[in-house]
Amino acid sequence: MLKKISTRNLITFSILIFACASCKNSKEKERLKKPTKRPNILFIMSDDHAYQAISAYSDKLIKTPNIDRISDEGILFTNACVTNSICAPSRATILTGKHTHINGKIDNRMPFDTTQVTFPQLFKNAGYETAMYGKLHFGNNPKGVDDFMILPGQGNYINPKLITPKGDTTITGYVTDIITDLTIHWLDQKRDKEKPFMMMYLHKAPHRPWWPSPEKFKEFTQKTFPEPASLFDDYSNRGTAAKSAEMNLLQHMKYGHDSKIRPETIKEMGKVEPYVPPINGFTAAYSRFNDKQRALYDPIIDSINNWFKANWPTMNDTQKMKWKYQRYMQDYLGCISSVDDNVGRVLDYLDESGLAENTIVIYTSDQGFYLGEHGWFDKRFIYDESFKTPLMIRWPNEITPGTTNDEMVQNLDFAQTFLEAAQIKIPSDMQGESLIPLLKGNTAEWNRKAVYYHYYEYPAEHMVKRHYAIVTKEYKLVHFYYDVDEWELYDRSKDPQEMTNVYNDPSYAATVTELRKKLDDLRLKYKDSPELDRKYIDLYEKNK
């Protein structure tokens, strides 16, 4: 039988409820009076930074202690990837939270439709102070930022020109140092400190043609690096796409532009084999240097050239490939070492200024990159090294330091993640998922099992054929189209280097059927279609 509540007890109970409600009310009022401090966002992105060249992922090639701090003190994503592995499309996806067939920036050539909503605009409208410094790649007037200093197009390593709201300016020095100086100056002096900030700090490095600073050039040309297992891949177990691509170190990397062989050296030698069609890239970069800079670079360039002249003619193809790989790594990793030092400067600034505590720091790249895997440089293909991209996030008090996560997250998810972190409403037509549950360790809330990929820029430099694909943790199913109709399937756990296409292997027949159905479903989900493929081919041909 229920015990009768006495009148006295009832009164005490009511008083308690009332007291509790009013205490909640006053707490609520206090919270409203003093709104929770919205976090600052520092979005750091490099250009073409392979995860293989970050020691948080692997320290075989280089130590990056400063970049590693972000994941040591936050979260490291080991399966982060892009939707279209090339620069401007990746940036457009990050800004809009949409696949490139929806935002229209399917390749580096198509114009970006600036009437679209981008996440910086939403931050600005919500009262954030916003800025973009460094490489955007397209346009000269980014929307939604209170301030900008951006490199025109690809930008230059030495004495770069910058576009600013007040006109163009050229600054003497090394681009990675300059972008960092300007970023720290904005954080420290230029921004409105009454507001939270969203800063996009975007490096040009380590994009081709890989000019390290003079100090790093000196240091890194003394080093030798381990070769990847697939450096001599002959593409025999795959279709025509890998065979016909033009990004092989031996066959396609330029002697001058990339390996820093002077045009005069080539002329003196008369014949340099294998023949690689030259471009005037060496001269274009070198002609920007002032006398002081030349004096620093010249002795190193001379010693590379003298060695080349003396040894190249008697070397076999294997030796040549190995030499080109070392030259490539010396310059590429030299550029990264500067990025790492400069990221360290910014992190130190956040600590010293007391900003670190309430600032989310993200480190990523616009895509991955081949560091000799499959004999390649560049990106574009869906094979892991360029499909995956580094991603680490630090958010004090919210992310448990040292967390690792292997879910399939994409650059498509960034905008929604940042908006949710800043408590800004997310537009319903964005196509990603907020990563906040993963950042907070609520992995059970994450349901994505597969991602969609679509690359378009063909025919073009490096000749990587158009392809779209579905990728799960277990498999990668790819359809190359346009001037071929070829399918590839990779078993990611059995063949992590993606050396053997098992699409026609009868033991994978059921997997193929299942994944083709799932790929169709993904294309529907993200509103991609054969009609859109056709539309973009026609537009591409018109825009030649």
**Residue 39 exposed, middle or buried by CB count within 10 Å (0-12, 13-18, 19+):** buried
Instruction: Tell me the window of 187-195, 202-210, 221-229, 535-543 that interacts with ligand SGN (CB under 6 A).
Output: 202-210
Residue-wise DSSP of 455-521: E---SSTT-PPPEEEEEESSEEEEEE-SS--EEEEEETTT-TT-----TT-GGGHHHHHHHHHHHHH
Beta bridge partners of 199: 42, 131
Give one word for 151, left, alpha or beta, with left for phi > 0 and alpha for psi -120 to 50: beta
Residue 124, binding choice from ligand SGN, Ca ion, none, Cβ under 5 to 8 Å by partner class? none
Residue 19 tokens read as 């007291």
Instruction: Tell me the window of 95-103, 126-134, 173-181, 203-211 that interacts with ligand SGN (CB under 6 A).
Output: 203-211
User: Which of 86, 106, 250, 470 is the binder for ligand SGN (CB under 6 A)?
Assistant: 86
Q: What is the DSSP letter of 232?
A: T
User: Which of 87, 399, 489, 522 is the binder for ligand SGN (CB under 6 A)?
Assistant: 87
Beta bridge partners of 150: 134, 163
Tell me the C-alpha distance between 268 and 259, whole Å: 17
281 is a contact residue toward ligand SGN (CB under 6 A): yes
**Nearest residue (beta carbon) to ligand SGN:** 87
Smallest distance from ligand SGN to CB 137, Å: 6
Beta bridge partners of 388: 81
Tell me the C-alpha distance between 186 and 197, whole Å: 11
Tell me the C-alpha distance between 90 and 108, whole Å: 10
Residue-wise DSSP of 380-393: -S-SHHHHB--EEE
Which of 137, 203 has the CB closer to ligand SGN?
137
User: Which of 101, 204, 207, 454 is the binder for ligand SGN (CB under 6 A)?
Assistant: 207
Residue 209, binding choice from ligand SGN, Ca ion, none, Cβ under 5 to 8 Å by partner class? ligand SGN
462 is a contact residue toward ligand SGN (CB under 6 A): yes
- Which x/- pattern, by CB under 6 A, does the window 376-415 give for ligand SGN? --x-------------------------------------
Which of 369, 487 has the CB closer to Ca ion?
369
Tell me the C-alpha distance between 405 and 438, whole Å: 8
47 is a contact residue toward Ca ion (CB under 5 A): yes
Which of 196, 368 has the CB closer to ligand SGN?
368
Which of 245, 415 has the CB closer to ligand SGN?
245
User: Which of 46, 48, 206, 436 is the binder for ligand SGN (CB under 6 A)?
Assistant: 48
User: Which of 87, 304, 430, 469 is the binder for Ca ion (CB under 5 A)?
Assistant: 87
- The 3-state DSSP class for residue 217 equals helix
Which residues in this chain contact Ca ion in the complex, by CB under 5 A? 47-48, 87, 366
Which residues in this chain contact ligand SGN in the complex, by CB under 6 A? 47-48, 86-87, 108, 137, 154, 207-209, 257, 281, 378, 461-462
